[in-house]
Chains A and B, each alone.
Chain A
Amino acid sequence: MKINFFGMILLLLTIILSGCGSAEPAYQKEMGIGVFTLEENILFNWYPNGIEIEDSIVSKKITEGSLLFQSGKRESFSELPNLESKNNMVYVENGYVDGPLAGIYLGEKVESITKLYDDVIKSLDDGVPVLVFFIDGLSFDQYSNVAETGELHFLGEYYEDKIISVFTPVTNAGFAAMITGKTPDENGVHDRSYRDLKAESIFGYADSIGKRSLLLEGEIKILNTEIEPVLHVDVDKDGDTDDEMVITALGAVNEDYDLIFIHFHGVDDRGHQYGPQSSETLDYVKTVDEWITNISSSWEGNIYATADHGMHSTNEGGDHGVCRYEDMIVPYFTREK
């Protein structure tokens, strides 16, 4: 048997060097796309073969929507472009410059969580103080299920609309999009491993026009923003820092702040542990609503509330980070003067 020794050497070196491959944190190596609407998932982990997606669109009579790229870019379309698979990822045909797709939102134009930035900036420019409640991990489905009980106060009264998160739907990326008004491809925060913003946030803007702002966080700082957050520890050892943060917030709304931003973590924590639709999680949404109602009663300015991402159920509880309806569609609340 004739052996190609140079081939063997090449193979050997390939095996050795394969362990030194470079990482592409924003792109997953193998990933079909998720297709969803404002109401439901249509396809999971799908690779185009020209049949299913067309059937889905025809049956839903939807022609417009948004392409959601793994880079975090979002691009609207009025007619779905042709798609193709390459190296186990999905691309717009002849559109490799935009990188692989993460998913497709099908439906009429919908606002993004970047809307929060615009609302806050407008309030500040109008000289109206603004209070923001960031409810980590609250999906539209969770909100809807609790709202149906009629037990919500602020969140029940001031619900405005469904909006769409960014890819990757995780806290760092969602938070960054909310406060910079830009998608991850522009603000530089793609997932949990990123902290530095490549765009000015609402806190930087507030500072630049002489406004005073406050960011209330739990035990850890999530992003490197222009102001340092006030961190909180679980003093009463009930497993949460949200209640400690509420005490700080109740004091802060009576001080001279132009912008107060409060990041509640407990819905996300319970969603992961017990499941997004568990009684523990949904009951906690009511608790957060009570806190928001209480804090808001002392605030004369505008108030906005939303979430960075939603959450889907798993065998272990709940998770997020996938381009699917439960993770991507979140509620938005507005109380303006």
Chain B
Amino acid sequence: MNKTTKAAIFIIIILIVIFFAALLLNKTEIESRRELLESSAIEVKSKDLSDKVDLETLQSIGLEDFEAVLDTSTTEASLLDYSGVQLIKLLASLGYEINEKDIIIATGADGFSVAYSGEEVLDYGNIYIAVMEEGNYLGGIEDGGRGPFEIIVINDSFSNRRCKWVTGIEVVK
């Protein structure tokens, strides 16, 4: 075996090692994101009610597929596929009666808050709590993800009314 062949084999071995290492890291990330999703919850409350919502709650309502535009300061606008539950379906299933004049405030783990009007929450197919994007779990604040739960407004083409890392939803009458 000459020197050239040895070097070529060495490079191929390096590439194979890198490939499997990347595969393993990716698998670990998927598992950790799944575990994060399963162990996380959103606190939903109003003046009279208080609930904890987790993945099981959302699955019992039924995850829906939907499309939404993601447009961030670092990426071009792109139409992506998501899975989640409509916010109005979640609130209705928990017994929250939403009126047009209510304000629904979502809060993220970073302290960020967004207010939605009752009217836009009642608008069927407009506001979702997403758990997956392009077939992948959203991840969490620590791993650079935007989940495990993210509120997405379909009509919001600039993505500035999304609420990442959602930990709380309050209904204000």
Contact = CB atoms under 8 A, between A and B. Distances in A.
Interface in A125-183: none
A12 B114 contact: no
Contact of A195 (B112, B114, B115, B160): B112
Interface string B149-173: 0000000000011000000000000
B103 interface: yes
Interface residues of A, number: 22
Contact of B115 (A5, A9, A13, A233): A233
A326 to B, nearest CB: 20
A12 B160 contact: no
B11 A195 contact: no
A235 interface: yes
A224 B111 contact: yes
Contacts of A196: 110-111
B10 interface: yes
B7 A195 contact: no
A51 interface: no
Contacts of A13: 14
A209 interface: no
Interface string A186-199: 00000011011000
B22 to A, nearest CB: 9
A5 B18 CA distance: 18
A233 B11 contact: no
A221 B113 contact: yes
Given A231-B103, A235-B101, A8 B115 contact: no
Given A9-B10, A9-B11, A231 B115 contact: yes
Contacts of B160: 220
A234 B10 contact: no
A58 interface: no
A152 to B, nearest CB: 30
Contact of B114 (A16, A193, A221): A221
Given A9-B10, A9-B11, A219 B111 contact: no
A190 to B, nearest CB: 13
A232 interface: yes
Interface of B: 3-4, 7, 10-11, 14-15, 18, 73, 101, 103, 105, 110-117, 120, 160-161
Interface of A: 3, 5, 8-9, 12-13, 16, 192-193, 195-196, 219-221, 224, 228-229, 231-235
23 contacts: A3-B4, A3-B7, A8-B7, A8-B11, A12-B11, A13-B14, A16-B18, A193-B73, A196-B111, A219-B115, A219-B116, A219-B161, A220-B112, A220-B113, A220-B160, A221-B111, A221-B112, A221-B113, A224-B112, A231-B103, A231-B113, A233-B117, A235-B101
Given A3-B4, A5-B10, A5-B11, 15 more contacts: A5-B4, A192-B73, A195-B112, A219-B161, A220-B112, A220-B114, A220-B161, A221-B111, A221-B112, A221-B113, A224-B110, A228-B113, A231-B115, A233-B115, A234-B117
